[in-house]
A and B are shown apart, each in its own frame.
Chain A
Amino acid sequence: MTFSLEGTDASIANALRRVMIAETPTVAIHFVRIENNTSPLNDEMLSHRLGLIPIVYRGDVRQLNSNRDCDCQGNCARCSVEFELHVRNDGEDTIEVTSHDLRALSDMAVPLDDETLPRGILICKLGKFQEIRLTAIATKGVGKEHAKWSPVSTAVFQYEPSIRLNYRLLDELSPQDRQNFVGSCPARVFEIQDGRVVIPDVYRCTYTEECMRWAEQVGKPDLVTVKQLEPPRFRFSVETTGSLKPAEIVQSCLITIQEKIRKIEDLLVTKQEEQQLPQ
């Protein structure tokens, strides 16, 4: 998903990015009890791989208790989801254990099931008579603690560039040179339409400044200037691992930030009352 943000500064944009990556809660497998594992992977590797499988929680992740603070002993439905995995290869051929084999013991969550991954996420391969039997407990967490809880594969904002073309100088160029100028940009920001150089999408620009370098080489340094737009405008792109939808991540991240600020506001008020700090 992409969306644009304007009327603010880089600090806000960056805060959104940081919270999306590091502080948006999701659910991921955190405890694994292995009953039998005769697969080629050792127990730690297997658990690590299970942890990285995106888990889709049906319901609001924010409402889920953190396992650490939950008042239950061990784990309960309010702070965790249990999964089961039992695969045994009785055939001759090597089989694949994928996220589809991971069975949730409640209907609150499922491992990522995406049409782009019809075979699921590969966990391990099993040879003849090899077996994996385990139960796994997924809990809530944030990317700050471990990357497996990070819901985004990329969350990034781009500064909208302001590209100024000097058409007077461009017209002086020969058609071949114009073609060369267009070709100078590796990100293909420029295109020629009806003999004119146009910019179909400014966000293609990656600030390589190859066009300015080219212009300098041909002795026309004023041909083009690339700057960040002032005041800045940002374009966010959020790509998820599948555990949350992009819009959910953005919403959740905005709530998180507001909660953080609220907390400090409240503390500041109590501090003021305690210490009679000047108003």
Chain B
Amino acid sequence: MPVLLDGRVCGHIHTSMGMPLVERLRYLKATDPKKVPQTLEIGISPPTNPHALPAVYMHSTLARMMRPVKYLPTGAIQLVGSLEQTYMEIACLPADVNPHTTHMEVNPTNILSLVASLTPFSDFNQSPRNMYQCQMGKQTMAIPFYSPYRSDNKVYKLQTPQKPISRTRNQDEYLMDEYPTGTNAIVAVTAYTGYDMEDAMIVNKSSFERGFAHASVYLTKEFPIQDGSATILSIHHPIIRSSNHHRVPHLDDSINVIVKIIIINCIIKSSIASSNHQLHHQIINCIIKSSIASSNHQLHHQIINCIIKSSIASSLHHHCILLASQHARRPSGDIISIISINCIISINCIIIRLQHQFILSFSLSSLPSMRGGHRAVRRWYSNYRLDGTKIEESLDDDGLPKVGVLLHKGDPVCVIVSESGDVEVNRHKIAEPAYVENVMLVGNPSARDAEPYLARVKLRLNRNPVIGDKFSSRHGQKGVLSFLYPQVDMPFTESGMTPDCLINPHAFPSRMTIGMLIEAMAGKAGAQHGIPMDASPFQYNNNRGLPDYDTSHPVTAVDFVGEQLRRAGFSSFGSETLYSGTSGRVLEAEIFFGVVYYQRLRHMVSDKYQVRTTGPMHALTHQPIKGRKQGGGIRLGEMERDSLLAHGTSFLLQDRLLHCSDEHQAYVCSRCGSLLSVISRPVASESTGAPKLAHVCRLCGPKGIVGTVTIPYVLKYLVNELAGMNIRLTMQASHV
């Protein structure tokens, strides 16, 4: 069989010797890292496998997945690759070791992924519930990161997080305590008011007021100085601006004679490069019109030199432009401004030569700008108009809000002023009020003048729990907050404690999440004794692999935790006598009461609620539009229609489908039955002579009888469409 190293055949070995070779290499890997590197994957595909080429595969390259297992002959930890492990004998527990076994798992929980290994007592749960938790663990509001400078689009952050009391070992290994995902909640499992039916969850109002599951959403809004057009445009914008818009209107100024020459130079050059004859003519006309005086030859020479030089240094485009644009704005006729404008011209030419497609846009845009157009204008963040008046009282001088300010819908967030005097006010668009968390200006530090081209405003939305927000324990038991119940109305224990939340016992029988019950007991015991509880799976009862295992007395998790509860003075089953908060009398049944780690999930009503009375309509059908963002409605579909019919609520149905939708008064000719033939034409009123509209049928003329009917507007649309296909739809209208 061939022996391959990193996919290359490096020799052959007799098939019978393959396995001994691999075993020897693995032994050397464990004992002599100088001879065989620790990260070498030594796989063998045995000749008994008909699907793979029998060979010894070795891999030494970077970026391969490997995991640690115990190498039994030496007891050392060895890294095993993904290809080799399929043909290896790796025992899970010491009891599984057989004569062929070479390796053993370091820990049986290694089969679990990161998210799966964070579920406490997951070995007590029905397996689909663990899968659900793996899904939900990723939707929690938590501590996402600690850097205050990140500007992610949307970040969910829990403001009052806690470390869980019941914890798995991986909780420590993955440093999950630095990024906690929930709160230890005192939970009573009871059907109390009816507000905990169907996976709803009652939360103690006072707990909420003391900070239970308080959270925020961070949004980052970006305000670019130019609206996101191509970067090339931003290169030639300053050219256009400085060469034409600024100077040409002042051609008569005697100071600017030189500048004028340069500009004309520029224009000539661009027109030469341009293949468009009409444009050429226009430009020439332009020059003549601006009545140029005779040019200074020496200066002219200099200029041309300059142009040639700078056009050679074409890699400096950007700098030239910026430099030029800065100086061109306040030219005093001195040599610097000449040079700067020179630069502009040269770049101008280069661009034109290199990129023909821009000639048109350049020239066309530059021509109107000669007459004071404003297509390419410089823009900046400021709260002052060009005449120095303030724009928005609530904003700072730079046109951006103060940090910590509360913004309501419609409040200004960012003001951009352009040199043409235009003012762009960006407003807070979302309905929810938000605090300004921070404000950032983004520029290119390598540019000579690092002017910001982007403003970022980070907003903070308060998302403390409200009715309808989603919560979940770590056992796939999600629920919706249904009521913030006053503390005095909640049941209380002998010691005067009121639970943080109430959940319904019906959540358990069919889902069989025993792990959650044990977590509640363990959490309670841990809280009483002040110790974190180990909730790693496979620790209790079936700890066959452990040396002190006593077959006659298997310690179950319930036994262990129950004993701790007993020592803390509680019933060993986790239940307690509760008293009704409203009457003060004992509740007959003992109620399961414990500490469960609850996660706040990021699905919140504030992001989902949809409501509409009247609102935007679709232009074609005149029916309400769809979509929550646009303020649309929710479709009342066929099945909903069916159920309304089945209830006999025909007025409701008519209200939904007609009055609240596309009710329309249509003219119909009852003689020909056509909806389309009626036209309105102005006639003089018989009595007063005032003009009014008369509706007549074009097909029937004066014989037609025109009246109105109430129809859904889409019917009219349908009739039109049908007419377009040569189908005539008529109505039998009698009393119109």
Q: Do chains A and B touch in the complex (CB under 8 A)?
A: yes
Inter-chain contact B496/A155, CB cutoff 8 Å: yes
Inter-chain contact A22/B486, CB cutoff 8 Å: yes
Inter-chain contact B583/A148, CB cutoff 8 Å: no
A158 to B571, CA, bound (A): 18
- Determine how close the nearest CB of chain B comes to the CB of A190; give it in whole angstroms: 13
Inter-chain contact B584/A13, CB cutoff 8 Å: yes
With A156-B495, A159-B586 as given contacts, are A42 and B460 in contact (CB-CB < 8 Å)? Answer: yes
The interface-forming segment of B16-24, B38-46, B205-213, B380-388 is B205-213
Inter-chain contact B584/A11, CB cutoff 8 Å: yes
Inter-chain contact B435/A44, CB cutoff 8 Å: yes
A17 to B496, CA, bound (A): 10
A19 nearest CB neighbor, chain B only:
B488
Inter-chain contact B435/A43, CB cutoff 8 Å: yes
- Determine how close the nearest CB of chain A comes to the CB of B432; give it in whole angstroms: 14
Residues of B within 8 A of A48 (CB): 211, 214
- Determine how close the nearest CB of chain B comes to the CB of A193; give it in whole angstroms: 20
Residues of A within 8 A of B494 (CB): 156, 158, 206-207
A151 to B404, CA, bound (A): 31
With A143-B206, A147-B206 as given contacts, are A186 and B404 in contact (CB-CB < 8 Å)? Answer: no
Residues of B within 8 A of A143 (CB): 206, 487
Main secondary structure of the interface of A (DSSP, over half): mixed
- Determine how close the nearest CB of chain B comes to the CB of A32; give it in whole angstroms: 12
A143 to B210, CA, bound (A): 11
> What 0/1 readout, one digit per residue, does chain B (382-406) give for beta carbons within 8 Å of chain A?
0000000000000000000000100
A239 to B391, CA, bound (A): 56
Inter-chain contact B462/A44, CB cutoff 8 Å: yes
With an 8 Å Cβ cutoff, the count of chain A residues facing the other chain is 38
- Determine how close the nearest CB of chain A comes to the CB of B307; give it in whole angstroms: 52
Contact of B565 (CB < 8 Å), options: A18, A52, A186:
A186
Inter-chain contact A206/B209, CB cutoff 8 Å: no
Q: Which of A148-163 contact B (CB under 8 A)?
A: 148, 150, 154-159
With A42-B216, A48-B214, A146-B209 as given contacts, are A156 and B492 in contact (CB-CB < 8 Å)? Answer: yes
B585 at interface, CB cutoff 8 A: yes
Inter-chain contact B584/A237, CB cutoff 8 Å: no
A157 nearest CB neighbor, chain B only:
B584
A236 nearest CB neighbor, chain B only:
B496
A34 at interface, CB cutoff 8 A: yes
A45 at interface, CB cutoff 8 A: yes
A154 to B586, CA, bound (A): 18
Residues of B within 8 A of A44 (CB): 216, 435, 462
B209 nearest CB neighbor, chain A only:
A147
A36 to B136, CA, bound (A): 38
B572 at interface, CB cutoff 8 A: yes
A18 to B583, CA, bound (A): 10
> What 0/1 readout, one digit per residue, does chain B (478-522) give for beta carbons within 8 Å of chain A?
000000001110001011110000000000000000000000000
Inter-chain contact A237/B435, CB cutoff 8 Å: no
Residues of A within 8 A of B214 (CB): 45, 48
Inter-chain contact B583/A147, CB cutoff 8 Å: no
A4 at interface, CB cutoff 8 A: no
Inter-chain contact A186/B584, CB cutoff 8 Å: no
Residues of B within 8 A of A11 (CB): 583-584
Q: Which of A147, A154, A187 has the most CB of B within 10 A?
A: A147
Inter-chain contact B583/A10, CB cutoff 8 Å: yes
A94 at interface, CB cutoff 8 A: no
B566 at interface, CB cutoff 8 A: yes
A210 at interface, CB cutoff 8 A: yes
Inter-chain contact A150/B571, CB cutoff 8 Å: no
Q: Which of A20-49 contact B (CB under 8 A)?
A: 21-22, 34, 37, 42-45, 48
With A14-B584, A156-B496 as given contacts, are A150 and B216 in contact (CB-CB < 8 Å)? Answer: no
Residues of B within 8 A of A17 (CB): 488, 584
A272 at interface, CB cutoff 8 A: no
B411 at interface, CB cutoff 8 A: no
Inter-chain contact A154/B577, CB cutoff 8 Å: no
A13 nearest CB neighbor, chain B only:
B584
Q: Which of A131-180 contact B (CB under 8 A)?
A: 143-144, 146-148, 150, 154-159
Inter-chain contact B569/A22, CB cutoff 8 Å: no
A228 at interface, CB cutoff 8 A: yes
A12 nearest CB neighbor, chain B only:
B584
Inter-chain contact A208/B571, CB cutoff 8 Å: yes
B358 at interface, CB cutoff 8 A: no
A228 nearest CB neighbor, chain B only:
B586
Residues of B within 8 A of A159 (CB): 586
Inter-chain contact A42/B435, CB cutoff 8 Å: yes
B199 at interface, CB cutoff 8 A: no
Residues of B within 8 A of A196 (CB): none
With A154-B496, A156-B492 as given contacts, are A208 and B206 in contact (CB-CB < 8 Å)? Answer: no
A52 to B205, CA, bound (A): 14
Residues of A within 8 A of B460 (CB): 42
B159 at interface, CB cutoff 8 A: yes
Contact of B496 (CB < 8 Å), options: A13, A43, A237:
A237
With A186-B572, A237-B496 as given contacts, are A147 and B210 in contact (CB-CB < 8 Å)? Answer: yes
Inter-chain contact B569/A187, CB cutoff 8 Å: yes
B570 at interface, CB cutoff 8 A: yes
B211 nearest CB neighbor, chain A only:
A48
Residues of A within 8 A of B492 (CB): 156
With A147-B209, A158-B494 as given contacts, are A42 and B437 in contact (CB-CB < 8 Å)? Answer: yes
Residues of A within 8 A of B488 (CB): 17-18, 21-22, 144
Inter-chain contact B570/A186, CB cutoff 8 Å: yes
Inter-chain contact B584/A150, CB cutoff 8 Å: no
With A154-B496, A156-B492, A186-B565 as given contacts, are A52 and B583 in contact (CB-CB < 8 Å)? Answer: no
B177 at interface, CB cutoff 8 A: no
Residues of A within 8 A of B159 (CB): 42, 45
Inter-chain contact A22/B211, CB cutoff 8 Å: no
B123 at interface, CB cutoff 8 A: no
With A21-B487, A22-B487, A156-B496 as given contacts, are A52 and B210 in contact (CB-CB < 8 Å)? Answer: yes
> What 0/1 readout, one digit per residue, does chain B (571-606) give for beta carbons within 8 Å of chain A?
110001100011111100000000000000000000
Inter-chain contact A210/B571, CB cutoff 8 Å: yes
Residues of A within 8 A of B216 (CB): 42, 44
Inter-chain contact A147/B585, CB cutoff 8 Å: no
A188 at interface, CB cutoff 8 A: yes
With A22-B487, A156-B495 as given contacts, are A43 and B577 in contact (CB-CB < 8 Å)? Answer: no
Inter-chain contact B487/A154, CB cutoff 8 Å: no
A276 to B423, CA, bound (A): 71
A63 to B589, CA, bound (A): 44
A10 nearest CB neighbor, chain B only:
B584
Inter-chain contact B486/A144, CB cutoff 8 Å: yes
A169 to B440, CA, bound (A): 81
Inter-chain contact B569/A186, CB cutoff 8 Å: yes
Inter-chain contact B487/A147, CB cutoff 8 Å: yes
Q: Which of B136-163 contact A (CB under 8 A)?
A: 159
Inter-chain contact A10/B435, CB cutoff 8 Å: no
Q: Which of B334-353 contact A (CB under 8 A)?
A: none
A154 to B495, CA, bound (A): 8
Q: Which of B182-241 contact A (CB under 8 A)?
A: 205-207, 209-211, 214, 216
A36 to B476, CA, bound (A): 43
With A21-B488, A186-B570 as given contacts, are A147 and B495 in contact (CB-CB < 8 Å)? Answer: no
- Determine how close the nearest CB of chain A comes to the CB of B43; give it in whole angstroms: 50
Residues of B within 8 A of A43 (CB): 404, 435
Q: Which of B209, B216, B570, B576 has the most CB of A within 10 A?
A: B209
26 contacts between A and B (CB under 8 A): A11-B583, A14-B583, A18-B581, A21-B487, A21-B488, A37-B404, A42-B435, A42-B437, A42-B460, A44-B435, A45-B159, A45-B214, A52-B211, A147-B210, A148-B209, A156-B492, A156-B494, A156-B495, A157-B584, A186-B567, A186-B571, A206-B494, A206-B577, A207-B577, A228-B586, A237-B496
**Apart from A11-B584, A52-B211, A154-B495, what 12 extra A-B contacts exist at CB < 8 Å?**
A13-B584, A17-B488, A17-B584, A22-B486, A52-B210, A154-B497, A156-B495, A186-B570, A206-B576, A208-B571, A210-B571, A228-B586
5 closest cross-chain pairs (CB), A and B: A14-B584, A156-B496, A154-B496, A147-B206, A147-B209
